[in-house]
Every structure is written in C-alpha cells, then in structure tokens.
Amino acid sequence: MPTPAWDDLGAFLSLDDFAVTATTAGGQTFPVILEEAYFSHELGAYDMNTAEPWGTARWSDVQGLKKRAVITLSQTVGGVQVFSQPYWLVHDPEPDGTGMAVLRLSRTANA
C-alpha cells in the first residue's frame, strides 16, 4: 500500500526531533526512531528485566535488509556524537502498510 498523500514521513523521521541515524554495513544511511521497552519476566522466584528494542523506519529505506543484518544507530548533537551502538536484526523488516516498517533489534548477534 502506498504512503497516503497527506503524510510527510520525512517530517516524522526528522533527526532534529526523535530519529537517530542508522548505518548499514554497506554504508547506506537512513533515519530510524529507536524504542527500547523493558519487560519483566518472572522465572519462578526470580524476576529478570530485559530490553526488547525495535526501530521504525521508512519501508523504502529498509526493504533490502535481512535477518541478522547489522545496523549501527548513532546520534549527533551540535556536531558531537553522543550515541553509537550496533544492533542486529532479529527478523526481516516488517512493513506496516503505511510506508513504514518495524525493525526488531538485538544488541547481540546471538538473537
């Protein structure tokens, strides 16, 4: 399904607001909104908190990526890099039908 004409995905993915820069191993860059929810898993008498990060990006930017691809997410503020972290795709990008896609991510290659 094509992006609705009234949506400006570029404004939604502005690096000045919520998005960070994603860079693939091949050097392609695109904006991603990174979210990292924490969940509490109860294992008997033990609670384990784990992060389950994901990103939201334009489908056209990520449709060639595959499971286990490495992308580095980074953010620069005032010319200074304040964040840089490699992530691995847990699954192929998942298009949502609006021109966007969800990237299920892991901080380790073993996901």
* Alpha carbon distance 8, 6 (integer Å): 7
Residue 13 has pLDDT above 80, yes or no: yes
For the chain, percent of residues with pLDDT exceeding 90: 49
- What's the first-to-final CA gap in the chain, in angstroms? 30
pLDDT of residue 65: 96
pTM of this structure: 0.77
The percent of the chain in helix, strand and coil, each rounded to the nearest 5, is 5, 55, 40
- More confidently predicted of 24 and 48: 24
* Alpha carbon distance 2, 50 (integer Å): 35
pLDDT confidence tier of residue 57, bands split at 50, 70 and 90 = very high
